[in-house]
Amino acid sequence: MSDSKHDAVPSEPPPYTALSAGAPIKAPIQRPMLPLDLPVLNMLRGKRVILASASPRRRHLLAQIGLTNIEIIPSTLPEDIAKGSISPFEYVLQTATRKATHIYSREINNETRGEPGLIIAADTIVVSHMGEIMEKPRSEREHIAMLTQLRNWPTHKVYTAVVVMTPLESAVAPGYAMETAVEETVVTFDKMVTDELILAYVKTREGADKAGGYGIQGMGSILIEKIEGTHDNVVGLPLRTTLKCIEKVMTHDELADEFASSLEED
């Protein structure tokens, strides 16, 4: 009798197959990673998936879960929400929501490419120990001062808001489903970082185009002592949270039908 646990063996041996004693060591064969076989991601095969961001880091993160055929259509709306009037949490959520709805309104009636199957927007902010939203450095002098501040008051927070939208088959207003989430990560700089290291890092220009002035996914990691939360949230897109939002928004019609049926039965 066959054991069902062993029936679904992979057609290719895994890269961690043990070598027999005395076998010659060969260079590992580079195989492309298989995409996640999830129903919600399979629903998007062949559909337009739009990332409302020009960030190569977000595109790379989405590719890790199998969303490789993505259209990049950044929102051109000015990010002019008054930062002092609302909390950082509300600011980042409103900014990401505006990005998503802007691209949705532009693309929903696209006669050439058709309507989008999914729109993903995100916004990431760095918040100082005083609760101030830190922008991208505008000069080398400002960049040095920014990193010095983070070193001297080492704990700060990174918030990323994720907004996903999809058109609904039903004509019920507003005609789309939307899911949002905001994730927080606490980042602690190394208090022993020297002025010499800060200057050397600034000279690399890695953090010149990043809020807070550093990139944790690159050389900027040498400035960090620890994080509390997810690493990819600091990079710019929390994958676990994003996938949950996609799952909710893509099954919105099914959940709505189930809810309506339960009301009829009652």
Residue 7 is among the residues annotated as catalytic for this protein? no
Vertex 111 angle, CA 110 and 116, to 5° = 40
Residue of 159, 90, 77, 85 whose CA lies nearest to 126: 159
Residue of 136, 230, 121 whose CA lies nearest to 183: 230
List b or e across 207-232, with b for residues whose CB sees 16 or more CB atoms inside 10 angstroms.
Answer: beebbbbbbbbeebeebbeebeebeb
**What are the tokens at 55?**
């960030």
Non-local CB neighbours of 146 within 8 Å, separated by 6+ positions: 134, 137, 212, 213
Contact (Cβ atoms closer than 8 angstroms) between residue 169 and residue 247: no
Catalytic residue among 3, 123, 253, 257: 123
Non-local CB neighbours of 194 within 8 Å, separated by 6+ positions: none
Cα–Cα dist 52/75, whole Å: 6
Helix locations, 153-251, DSSP H: 195-204, 231-235, 239-250
Q: Which residues are catalytic?
A: 123
